[in-house]
Amino acid sequence: MISDVHLGTYGCQAKQLLTYLNSISPKKLILNGDIIDIWQFSKRYFPKSHLKVIKKIIDMASDGVEVIYITGNHDDMLRKFSGTAMGNISIVDKLVLNMDGKKAWFFHGDVFDASIQNAKWLAKLGGYGYDLLIVINRMVNWCLERLGREKYSLSKRIKNSVKGAVKYISDFEEVASDLAIENGYDYVVCGHIHQPKMLLKKNKQGETTYLNSGDWVENFTALEYQFKRWKIYNYQHDKLSPFYADEDIKEMEITDLIAAITIVDKKGK
């Protein structure tokens, strides 16, 4: 499961995500919201690497991978298509799966965000501000690398320093976990807050495992489930073989990529 890719923004790390997608062979791929950033979409910025990610996901679906797109707040326009399916790709607002006898509840998490529910313009403004901060951070890290210094995350520093941000993240985890326990879910799996995490949450009614897939802007993380176990994959820490599986995608021009993701095979393949 991946979330918060934000294709179409300067902060999106599409090349790293494509490398990760080329390294896995899942039976099911869950896209848990904010994959395409429709809020900040601009014709002036949607680079080739972002198109490659879309084509890769479509190719995976064509090869038999079940792709489930859960809508988020930055791609909320897709909610009007919730419940529809195109081949192996389906669009939903939330998802419940039976995973080896345990129930898992998947949703993006923006339903808990008061700024989105009550002041969408403020949330959008915050999105633009975050994107600008990422661009500035890249410039800072470029300078640090040239000086032989360790990279630095401005946004993480701000989140960890500002009490309101820390409390919001904590409250988000508590509310999601309490609702999951109340409804009898063994796992609650979210995105939205860009904080990869896996922890056991308990209250008087019971317990559940809270999971968050993080993002592909700063953390480069995903959630993987196999052999009845969950794992947080971290691109920066977990080893990857140095390969590029889809050479045809690598060499394709932008016009060919656009055609590949918009033209539907008449046979329905």
Q: How high is the pLDDT of residue 44?
A: 78
Other Cβ atoms within 10 Å of 155 Cβ, number: 17
pLDDT along the chain (269 residues), means of 10: 94 93 96 90 84 96 97 92 95 97 96 55 54 67 73 60 58 93 97 94 96 94 96 86 54 70 55
Query: 243: which residues sit within 8 A by CB, 6+ positions away?
Result: 22, 23
The one-letter amino acid at 40: Q
Q: How high is the pLDDT of residue 168?
A: 65
Q: Of 105, 81, 89, 95, which Cα lies nearest the Cα of 55?
A: 89
Q: Is 1 exposed, middle or buried (0-12, 13-18, 19+ CB in 10 A)?
A: buried
Residue ranges and CATH numbers for the domains of the chain are: 14-262 (3.60.21)
Q: How high is the pLDDT of residue 164?
A: 53
DSSP one-letter string for 100-147: TTEEEEEE-SGGG-HHHHH-HHHHHHHHHHHHHHHHHHHHHHHHHHHT
Q: What is the value of pTM for the model shown?
A: 0.75
Q: How high is the pLDDT of residue 242?
A: 45
Q: How high is the pLDDT of residue 225?
A: 97
